[in-house]
Amino acid sequence: MDIIKFVVILLEVLVLFNLLIIVHELGHFLAARWRKMYVDRFGVWFGKPIWKKKINGVVYSLGCIPAGGFVSIPQMAPMEAIEGKVEGDLANLPPAKPIDKIIVALAGPLFSFLLAIVFAVIVWIIGRPVGESETTRVVGYVLKNGPADKAGILPGDEIIAVDGNPVSRWSGIGDTVQWQIVSSKGETIRLTINRNGIITNLEAKPYIEETKIYERKGLRELQMLPKETPVVAKLFENSPAQLAGIKPNDIILEANGIPLLSPAMLSDIIIANSNKPVVLKIKRGNEVLVKEVKPVIPEVIAPDAKTAKAIKDEIRPMLGIIWEQGGLMKTDNPDPLKQIHTSISAMVNTIKAVASPKSDIKFQHLSGPVGIIRIYYRLFESEQGWRLAIWFSVILNVNLALLNLIPIPVLDGGHILMSLIEMVRRKPFNVKILEKIQTAFAALIIGYMIYITIFDTSELAGRRNAKIQFKPNTEQVQTQDKK
């Protein structure tokens, strides 16, 4: 069943991911045909074709490298470095007018933007799941001896501003607690909090996790989490929680009499309780139950002994609960304009952070095709997979449209810029010079894609492939049910 689920999700990811590519390239294709320009090939993905077919003079192909697509239009600019050698005799092709090149270049981003609007309308109609971190700015958990703890932050504190910048929610890009911390630039971060009606300013020195050379550099964090209701999503087979009768959708209200503002609080309570049975207060529908459960240390299954040892040294006694990411979910129906505006704002904030020399956010923190496919896969794994994936597609299509308009050669914006220069000069570029420029920038982009793919693939390997499992042992669980 796991293999079937993997294959189904993978197919869903590939269908949606390739739809974005095809629609963008279809814009170029239709515009070129409209402007009577010669189209040699329509390719989805790059590299050596694993399938190709010639239809009405155009070669349609599927490459072996899942990293975008292309429409080969020789009259635009020399693009052989990316698209491969053009077939046929090009000597008799008439030069394209600059205005035709601009129209063809703009058509791709335009189609991506139109697809974003289509997805935005769908999200508006069917809604998208929203977690509590997108609606709260209240602290739910503070890691002991972490930056937030040392600064005096407590669970239940409401964060109003970060470094003087007002925040409206916890997660996301823009006016959020998470983003303002990650993109901060000073040695310390000033947090303005509301604690029981009293406004206070606290200073915290951010922590940055050390990473290996093939991993993305750590970003600033204060080691605290938002307030989220501990909702049970799944249970490990043979885990203490499962054997105790805890079920999916149960809400864990308290542990040993302590109200839980975040699932992470339960781990601290288990450790502080010296691995003794934990008394849980559970809400199930309209009922409130009490269960006493004894945590155990699970087994670690890893791809290699070194990874297994590293994980095993960090594993603590557990109950075997997989939490609902986001806590209690609700459905939001944002209108299309709001979704487009949010997507553009997120992109602008990201570019500003990457461009700032004082920011810790660099080009390596962006995602390439492998990273995007991974995000889609993780979204499809959830119960609300399609809704989340369609909402993410709005953001991705807006990014695809705007990033392609950056005025550098190879990208659509580069074609537009060179066509405008050609209009001013009233003569075309020297083909040999243009070919060298295109090849140089193509090499830079390919190099960057390889660079970013290294970080994307590193997140798929090693300890992230490690799993835990619980041995069948009914004696490990003590339960007591009360209504």
pLDDT at 416: 94
Write out pLDDT tens, residues 296-317.
Answer: 988 877 666 666 666 666 678 8
Cβ-contact 300, 315 below 8 angstroms: yes
Q: Where are any strands of DSSP class E within 47-197?
A: 51-55, 58-62, 65-72, 128-130, 139-142, 158-162, 165-166, 189-195
Query: What letter would DSSP give residue 400?
Result: H
pLDDT at 137: 96
| Domains 134-226 and 232-329 in one fold | yes
pLDDT at 480: 45
- Cα distance between residue 205 and residue 150, in whole Å: 9
Question: Would you tell me how many other CB atoms lie within 10 Å of the CB of residue 299?
Answer: 13
CATH class of this structure's domain 134-226 = mainly beta
pLDDT at 82: 59
Domain-by-domain residue ranges, the chain? 2-124+390-429, 134-226, 232-329
pLDDT at 14: 87
Main-chain dihedrals φ then ψ at residue 261, nearest 5 degrees: -95, -10
pLDDT at 111: 97
pLDDT at 197: 94
pTM for the predicted model, two decimal places: 0.85
Residue in the structure block whose two tokens are 């004696």 = 475
What average pLDDT score do residues 349-360 get?
Answer: 90
Q: Homologous superfamily of 232-329 in CATH?
A: PDZ domain (2.30.42.10)
CA 198 from centre of chain: 36
- Higher-pLDDT residue of 283 and 317 is 283
- Cα distance between residue 255 and residue 204, in whole Å: 29
DSSP labels, 332-401: E---HHHHHHHHHHHHHHHHHHHH-TT-S--GGGS--HHHHHHHHHHHHHSTTHHHHHHHHHHHHHHHHH
Structural Rg of the chain based on CA atoms:
27
